[in-house]
A = this chain, B = another copy of it.
Amino acid sequence: MRLAIQQFVPEFGAVEGNRERLAAAVEAAPEAAAIDLLVAPELAFTGYRFRDRAELERLAEPVPGPTTEALVALARRLDLHVVAGLAERDGERVYNAAALVGPAGVVGRYRKVHLFADERRLFDPGREPWPVLRVGDVPVGLMICFDWIFPEAARTLALGGAWVIALPANLVLPHCQSAVVTRAIENRVFIALSNRAGADRREGLEALRFTGQSRIVGPDGEVLVECERDEAAVRAVEIDPALAADKTLASGNDIFAERRPALYGALTRPPGNGA
């Protein structure tokens, strides 16, 4: 499988223009024709720095909808699958979502569970755990940005059978880029972290500058490909995703078979219940 990350700089609010620029950048990448799965950033079409819920609602759209239709068209032209983050409207609710689309349409979707900072007053939190979807024979899990700090997110995906975790992000701090090495090692999976670059500068709101440094990490924690802090880029690497099916270390330890779930009860106990 040829796995790619796209580090992208959206223009705030220019949803249609961002769709076009994102697709054009993928098509212009030297390895475009060889990519099997491309991971694009969180909120790649709206930008991040919403003034208020009303502005978010105006820019959000259904899934399937115009953005996923544009991604399906891209997937058909290049015969690939894409994970991208977008603002999803579903009736009265608005989610910080990621969709997996392929030539045949929308394969599945994830609605961000762990909302960061102001996202909590803008978005509704997702109510379903992290999904494992299929790209051909390869189980691909979806999580978004701040989910990284909760080890339960990547763990849920890996226990659910994901070999590759797609992690669209809009990171303002640098911790996640190193933490995904730990996430890859502890779960023996591939992780494709696609962060955005640039800044959202909006009048009357503090500017946010994003930290780029998107990377693909392998099950031994090796960084297979990465981006600089400020660039827009598409980077790809050939991986053998089935390596993630084997949870055995060189020591002989199978770190999944040797888990001791009977001793992990504190993790699923509701707060304040003797934890």
Q: Which residues of B contact A113 (CB under 8 A)?
A: 260, 263
Asked if A122 lies at the interface with its beta carbon under 8 angstroms from chain B, I say no
Asked if A252 lies at the interface with its beta carbon under 8 angstroms from chain B, I say yes
Contact of A271 among B179, B257, B268 (CB under 8 A): B257
Q: Is B149's CB under 8 angstroms from A155's CB?
A: no
Q: Is A149's CB under 8 angstroms from B255's CB?
A: yes
Q: Which residues of B contact A146 (CB under 8 A)?
A: 253
Q: Given A261-B267, A261-B270, A264-B267, do A117 and B251 touch, yes or no (CB 8 Å)?
A: yes
A267 to chain B: closest residue by CB: B267
Q: Is B182's CB under 8 angstroms from A152's CB?
A: no
Q: Which residues of B contact A185 (CB under 8 A)?
A: 149, 175, 179
Question: How long is the Cα–Cα vector from A253 to B145 in the complex, in angstroms?
Answer: 14
Number of interface residues of A (CB under 8 A): 46
A181 to chain B: closest residue by CB: B178
Q: Is A179's CB under 8 angstroms from B186's CB?
A: yes
Q: Is B175's CB under 8 angstroms from A221's CB?
A: yes
Q: Is B253's CB under 8 angstroms from A155's CB?
A: no
Extra inter-chain contacts (18) besides given A117-B252, A261-B270, CB under 8 Å? A113-B260, A116-B251, A117-B253, A120-B253, A159-B266, A159-B269, A160-B266, A160-B275, A175-B185, A178-B182, A179-B181, A261-B271, A262-B268, A264-B267, A264-B268, A267-B267, A267-B268, A268-B268
Listed A/B pairs (29) with beta-carbon separation below 8 Å: A113-B260, A114-B260, A117-B252, A120-B252, A128-B263, A129-B263, A129-B264, A129-B265, A150-B255, A151-B186, A152-B259, A155-B266, A156-B263, A156-B264, A156-B267, A159-B267, A159-B269, A160-B266, A160-B275, A175-B221, A178-B181, A179-B185, A179-B186, A182-B182, A257-B271, A259-B271, A261-B268, A261-B269, A267-B267
